[in-house]
Amino acid sequence: MAALPAGPPLTPAQVEAAGRALGLDVYEMADPLRPGRWRLRPGYHGTLHEVLEAKRSAGRVLAVSHMEAAAKALGVGQDEVAIEVNAEGFRGPALVPDHADVRILALGDSCTFGTPIAERYTYARAMERELRAQGHRVEVVNGGVEGYDPSDVLARLNEFRALRPEVTTLYIGWNALYRERYLDDTSGLARHLYGVRLLRHVGTLVRNRFADPHEAAIEAYERPKRPDQKAKEIALLDDYEPSFLPQLVQLVEAMRAIGSRVVILTLPGLYGMDRDPSPRALAIGHLPTWTDNPFVLARMAGRYNETLRVLAREERLDLVDLEAWARETLQPADEHFIDSVHLDERSQQQAGVYLAGALAPLLPAAKQAPAAEPPRGAR
C-alpha cells in the first residue's frame, strides 16, 4: 500500500520560508517533499536553555511557563540536552547500526514526541530503558511529531515502513479529535440546541481566525469551561464514529504488511465521563474551539477508545489500554496531566515503564541479552 504522493522537492530557502509560515519550532522544519506538512529537523541538538530561548522568542508563553516550572521541580539543568534529533529525523539517538536489535517504532503526535525538557522523560526512552533492564535487546524509535494526526503519519508511510520495525505502536488521535466536525453535521432540534450553545463563542472563533496563534492559544486555555454531563450534545455523541478511523486502519494494514506487529494504544486524558472535573482540571485543561463543555471532549475520546477496542478485537490486533491504566493509576488526574491530553514528565516515565511490561511478551525471543541493571539515575 503506497503512501500519499509527494510533490516536487522544495529548495532549502523554500523549506525555511514554509517553516516560518507554519510557525514551526526550532527543532522542526517544513517537509521538503510535502508542502503544508512538517517533520523534525535532522541533526538538531538543543539544550534546555536553547530550546527555552527559541520558544520564548517565538512567543510560546504557555510552553515556556511549563518548561521553566517543570525543569526547576525536576532539577533539569540549563545545559542538559533537551531535544536531540538523529540524522534520520527521529527524536533520540542514532539508529542501531545494521538493525541489530529488536526495533520498536512508536508512531504518534506530541504525546509520543514527549516533553521538550529532556529526552530521558519521554515514554519512548523510559520504555526502552525498562525493556533493556529486563534483558531485551531493543531500540525504540520515537516517531512522534507535535501536531500530527493519522493523515500526517500516512503521508510519511514509506519512510516508516523502510525502518522495518518488528513492533509498531500507534498512540495517536487527539489532534484529529480536536479537528472533528461531527456535531456540526448533526441535524434536527438537537443540532439547533447545540448551535445556540455555541453562539457565545462566535466572537472568539472570529478573533482566533485572524489573531496571533499564540495569543489565540492563551485565550483558548483561559476560556471559561462549563461542565454539563446532561448537555444535549452528549447524547448526540452516543453514535459518534471517528471520521479518521479509515486512515488509522490503513496505517495498521500497511505496517502489518511488512511483518510488523502493530499495537494500538488507547488515549488517556484529563477529563472523564465518570467524574466531575476538579477546579484545577478546569484551570489547566483546554478544549476544542467548538465547545466549552469538558464532558464533550471526554465523551468523544471515550467513543474513540471504544472504537479502538472493537477494532483490536475484530482485526486481532494487540491493544494496550493506556486509558484504563491511567484511570486506575494516575489519580487524581489533575496531578498527572499538564493540560487536557499531555502527561507530565514523571507520568510519561510511568507510562513508559507500564508499556514496557505490556510489550515484553510480544517481542521476538531471539534478540535478548543477559539482564542488566538500568543506568544510575535513569529512572
Residue 308 lies in a domain: yes
- Structure confidence at residue 217 as a pLDDT band (50, 70, 90): low
Residue 269 lies in a domain: yes
Residue 379 lies in a domain: no
Residue 286 lies in a domain: yes
Q: What is the pLDDT of residue 353?
A: 98
Cα–chain center distance at 189 = 35
The CA distance from 220 to 147, in Å, is: 16
Q: What is the pLDDT of residue 213?
A: 55
**Residue 139 sits in a domain of what CATH number?**
3.40.50.1110
Residue 94 lies in a domain: no
The CA distance from 67 to 122, in Å, is: 14
Q: Are 48 and 71 in contact (CB under 8 A)?
A: yes
Q: Are 39 and 145 in contact (CB under 8 A)?
A: yes
**Domain ranges, residue 290:** 99-178+240-362
Classify the phi-psi angles of 43: left when phi > 0, otherwise alpha if psi is within -120 to 50, otherwise beta: left
- pLDDT, tens only, 63-97: 999 999 999 999 999 999 999 999 999 999 999 99
The CA distance from 308 to 317, in Å, is: 10
- Phi, psi (degrees; rounded to nearest 5) at 88: -85, -5
Residue 188 lies in a domain: no
Q: Can you tell me whether residue 85 is helix, strand or coil?
A: strand
Instruction: List C-alpha distances in Å: 336 to 143, 278, 323, 340.
Output: 23, 13, 13, 10
Total domain count for the chain? 1
The predicted model scores a pTM of 0.87
- pLDDT, tens only, 133-174: 999 999 999 999 999 999 999 999 999 999 999 999 999 999
